Structure 1
Amino acid sequence: MVKSRRKWIGFYGDDFTGSTDAMEALTMNGVKTILFLHPPDESMLENERFREFQAIGIAGISRALTPREMESELYPAFRSLKKANVEICHYKTCSTFDSAPEVGSIGKAIEIGLHVFQNQRFSPLIVGVPTLKRYTVFGNHFATMEDITHRLDRHPIMSKHPMTPMDEADLRKHLSRQTTTEIESMNVLELSGSTIEIERILDSKLQENHNPKVMLFDVLTQEMLTKIGKLLINETQNNPQFAIGSSGVEYALTAAWKESGQYGLSEPQWPSLSPTAPLFVVSGSCSLVTEKQINYSLEHNFFGMKVDSSELINPETRAETCLKIIREATQQLEKGIDVVIYTALGPNDTSIESTKDHLVMTGGKSTDTSKLLGEQLGKISKEVIKNTNIKRVLVAGGDTSGYVTKNLEIIAMEMIKPITPGAPLCKTYSSNPIYDGLEITLKGGQMGSADFFVKVKSLT
């Protein structure tokens, strides 16, 4: 790809909701962004539908993969972005950074990224993002829930996450369980001065520590994030950068680009939307936030369908179970009734543990639940959409979003309207007219107010 067509930033999201979060951060700040569901080749990037986009993303599923599986997933993705000649390749993590050595290892992703992108002084690690009320202070990470800010290992949800519970708020210690890569840090005090002073401190740290591979940056305010963005831009003058972290990376870069005026960024213009009732909701999320959203929707005339997870993952019952769900959902949607299909109602739903126990008893692993449930929810969603020709869909849960969208023959997505930070409304691109032009929202477990489903339904 020639230099004149160089993309400013390319990112890989470790789940689909995180990927749309990164796309939103760029789009809201005037950077036209396209999100692919598979690593794009040069012919795809030069396709007339996509060649004018200024940033490219790849929506991934590495958060649900083992380290060995991550190698097969991430090497092609990172190499694709490198070939696209991006200035910065960003491995997009959740803003709560939840991960573990055996599944969704961010440490493993760092090692792969540093192997593909070499010849940089350091790889920036940025997890704080004030827009989402996520903060990093002296290396410890904090997240706000219902206006109360918790240290991550004391967060009422993330400390009890069913797959990757966060029992360590110190991000360097957390990563030390996943990688031996050297990690240095720049704390809030060191980032409080001018850009020149910060650069001097950074240079000193790099010399003293013999160029550590990763530099963790504290983030407390948007002003601090802008300063970090300037540092990143300076680093790209010599070599492409591999960065790790939340959408704080995108917010840092766009703030710095705006301040410099080098790209002439302007506010995006959103299209008017036609009413598209009924709304089809699919949820594989176990979070308390999603529980409240499901309950609110049921109180506002949504038709709820609680799925028996054990039957859905059992090879002997899954086909009949899927068929029943498809028939019932299709009938309700054809009547014009909004439908929400869900596998769990909050973190205390007894089906969560019983499904894991069933998997273990039948020779599987408890960590396989996301994959097995996600695949079946994806198949159900594909058939329901095909049967009803509905145009607006909401998927709740990061892993679930990945499996559902991959089943819908979607090539790429573009943000068309904001709803709540981190979960925008998107338009799909597909070679299959049934799934082309769908309006879809991918919502992470912690995203949105209690009335989020109703807001998505009424969006115009």
Structure 2
Amino acid sequence: MTKLGVIADDFTGATDIASFMVNAGWKVVLFNGVPSGTFDAQDTDAIVIALKSRSIPVNEAVALSLSASAWLKDQGCQRQLFKYCSTFDSTAQGNIGPVTDALMKFLETSATLVCPAVPDNGRTIVHGHLFVKGELLNESGMQHHPVTPMKHASLKKLMEAQSVGLCGIINLDKVKNHPDELETEIEKQLANKARYFIFDVLDNQDLLTVAGATANFPLVTGAAGLGYAIATLDKKSTESGKQAMHIDACGAGVVLSGSCSAMTNQQVDFYQQRASSLALDVEKIIHDPAYLDIVSQWVISHAGEPLAPMVYATQPPQIIELIQKHYGAEFVSEKIETFFSSLAQSLARAGFNKFIVAGGETSGAVTQGLNIAGMVIGEPVAPGVPWTQVLNKQQWVILKSGNFGNQDFFQQAQEHYHE
């Protein structure tokens, strides 16, 4: 039986956790959306289903997630993990809380884990507060996120505002110094009506402790670090699960950046000093039907250069706010995503076979444009950001969540090509 079924709320999150589990020695299959038929998973440790449910209406996110959960249950997955971003991207309306509640009801469990910690990427939890590289979540740049601005760092406040139950917090002293008391502490807090358990996590050892303490939970929720911890605790996990991937240097590559995160802004600034780059004109995306062909031809004209050309919608928060005030946030986001989807499709027809993509929504759009049903997970360029090969195609895609990677990420990704 497959040990774990993962429901990811966007495509980059799906590749993120799949990569972490592969690095822990598991064999992982990733599907783009809920498969229509059954899957022979006898040699698979985990199945990951990538949804596009992070920022859609709550009822749609719940319905999609329940469909994925039912399919995973039918495939015999022993446990399930609802995977969201390590910056807990969600508003007071959801979607993390409502999806978690719906999955808990469907899987008939009264308790779950809330664990966005990924120490390898600087995501830690102290006194129930989420930190990003030492800064409180709401002071890390995420307070300016155009779709899910994070105004608090308290996971308890964030979760209880959008769900139907209470959070129980288990502090760092208990996790580090008294792991043998965690089972008793969980029982005590369950008696006090806690439904969602938040453990303090500073390092990977803490994460392993937390994963062990909640190993009997039918459903857990969290980020990629939790997937890694669960796979690492599995006695059969070995280094042999890692897959070397040959990324053919033949053909052309392109960088497509739609994320407006602080780190992606740095990555775009760094890369545009070294490679041909084109900033998208939102007005033209909205009003000029010929703009797609103009951008496609620009990319094609720069295909032979040492570094792949970059097309980006990444902008500083203040510029994004002005555009959104004029047209509306959802309208602008939808237009940009549709443009990236069509651009990827156009470039694939022109012979481009390597796509380096930044941003969860952008990644979802590109995978739709390329009609990707599933992928093989390969080597990481940064923790949680692997190169992937599209199933049955000589086509490679790397999908990066906004805040992941160092400033030279786009260039670093191209160093993995093989002659």
Residue 31 of structure 1 corresponds to 26
Aligned partners of 1:27 and 1:268 also within 8 Å: yes
1:433 matched residue in structure 2:
none
Counterpart for residue 126 of structure 2: 137
Q: Deviations over 1:248-285 (max 9, x none)?
A: 2212212322xxx2455645241444424642011111
**Equivalent residue letter for 1:379:** S
Is the aligned partner of 1:376 residue 2:365?
no
Shift of residue 72 of structure 1? 3.1
In 1, Cα distance between equivalents of 2:303 and 2:236: 49
Q: Name 1:109's counterpart in structure 2.
A: 99
Structure 2 equivalent of residue 3 of structure 1: none
CA distance in 2, matches of 1:250, 1:31: 10
Spell out, residue by residue over 1:200-242, the C-alpha distance to the aligned partner (whole angstroms, 9 max, x if none): 2222222x314x3222222112211111121232x15xxxx11
CA contact (8 A) 1:125 1:244 kept: yes
3-state secondary structure, aligned to 2:70:
helix
Partner of 2:380: 418
Q: Which runs of 5+ in 1 are unaligned?
A: 1-5, 361-365, 431-435
**2:180 corresponds to:** 196
Q: CA deviation at 1:293?
A: 1.7
The match for 1:153 is: 138
CA contact (8 A) 2:92 2:158 kept: no
CA RMSD of aligned residues (A): 2.1
Partner of 2:281: 308
Q: Tell me, yes or no, if the aligned pair for 2:26 and 2:241 is still in contact at 8 Å.
A: no
Contact 1:185 1:217 (8 Å CA) reproduced: yes
Letter matched to residue 5 of structure 2: G
Aligned to 2:249: 275
Structure 1 residues 27, 342: closer, same or farther in 2, change over 3 A?
same
Which residue in the other structure is 1:163 paired with? Answer: 147
Partners in 1 of 2:167 and 2:61 — Cα distance? 21
Q: C-alpha displacement at 1:324, in angstroms?
A: 1.3
Contact 2:268/2:314 (<8 A) preserved:
no
CA distances 1:269-304 after superposition (whole Å, capped 9, x unpaired): 41444424642011111123222222222222x221
Residues 153 and 292 from structure 1, CA distance in 2 versus in 1: closer, same or farther, beyond 3 angstroms? closer
Are 2:356 and 1:394 aligned? Answer: yes
Structural mapping, 1:18-417, within 5 Å: 18-43=13-38, 45-46=39-40, 52-102=43-93, 105-118=95-108, 120-144=109-133, 149-155=134-140, 157-206=141-190, 208-210=191-193, 212-233=194-215, 235=216, 241-257=218-234, 261-262=235-236, 266=240, 268-276=242-250, 278-300=252-274, 302-312=275-285, 314=286, 316-317=287-288, 319-333=289-303, 338-348=308-318, 350=319, 352-360=320-328, 366-387=329-350, 389-417=351-379
CA distance in 2, matches of 1:142, 1:167: 13
2-structure distance, mates of 1:180, 1:14 = 20
Of residues 393-402 and 190-199 in structure 1, the stretch that sits farther from structure 2 once superposed is: 190-199
Q: Deviations over 1:131-166 (max 9, x none)?
A: 11111112111111xxxx1011222x1122222111
Counterpart Cα distance in 2 of 1:183 and 1:427: 40
* SS of alignment partner, residue 190 of structure 1: helix
* TM superposition score normalised by structure 2: 0.93
Distance, in Å, in 1 between the alignment partners of 2:247 and 2:295 is 29
Q: 2:82–2:222: 8 Å Cα contact kept in structure 1?
A: yes
Contact 1:278/1:337, CA 8 A, preserved across alignment: no
Q: In 2, are the aligned partners of 1:127 and 1:219 still within 8 Å (CA)?
A: no
Does the 8 Å contact 1:276/1:392 carry over to 2?
Answer: no
**CA, structure 1 residues 296+34, in 2 after alignment: closer, same or farther (shift >3 Å)?**
same
The C-alpha deviation readout for 1:284-334, integer Å capped at 9, x for no partner, is 11123222222222222x22111111321x2x42x2111211222223226
Match of 1:447 in 2: 404
- Residue identity in the other structure for 1:377: F
What SS is found at the alignment partner of 1:376?
helix
Counterpart contact for 1:14–1:92, Cα < 8 Å = yes
C-alpha distance in 2, partners of 1:274/1:408?
Answer: 18
Superimposed CA distance per residue, residues 58-110 of structure 1 (whole angstroms, 9 cap, x where no aligned partner): 112111212122133222112112222212211111101121134x5211111
Q: Distance in 1 between matches of 2:276 and 2:406?
A: 20
SS at match of 1:392: strand
- Whether contact under 8 Å (2:26, 2:238) holds in the other structure is no
**Is the Cα–Cα contact under 8 Å of residues 142 and 261 in structure 2 kept in the other structure?**
no
Distance 1:357 1:121, change over 3 A: closer
Q: C-alpha distance in 2, partners of 1:403/1:13?
A: 15
**Number of equivalenced pairs:** 417
CA distance in 1, matches of 2:114, 2:148: 20
Partner of 1:166: helix, strand, or coil? coil
Q: What amino acid sits opposite 1:297 in the alignment?
A: Y
* Residues 2 and 42 in structure 2, CA contact (< 8 A), matched pair in contact too: no
Q: Whole-Å Cα distance in 2 between the matches of residues 390 and 276 of structure 1?
A: 10
The secondary structure found in structure 2 opposite 1:65 is: coil
Does the CA-based 8 Å contact 1:229-1:255 persist in structure 2? no
TM-score by length of 1: 0.85
Is contact 2:146-2:321 (8 Å) kept? no
Percent same amino acid at aligned positions? 25
Q: Structure 1 pair 372/68, CA: closer, same or farther in 2 (3 Å)?
A: farther
Say which SS state the counterpart of residue 315 (structure 2) adopts. Answer: coil
User: Are the aligned partners of 1:190 and 1:198 in contact in 2 as well (CA < 8 Å)?
Assistant: yes
- Distance, in Å, in 2 between the alignment partners of 1:215 and 1:384 is 46
CA distance in 1, matches of 2:126, 2:264: 28
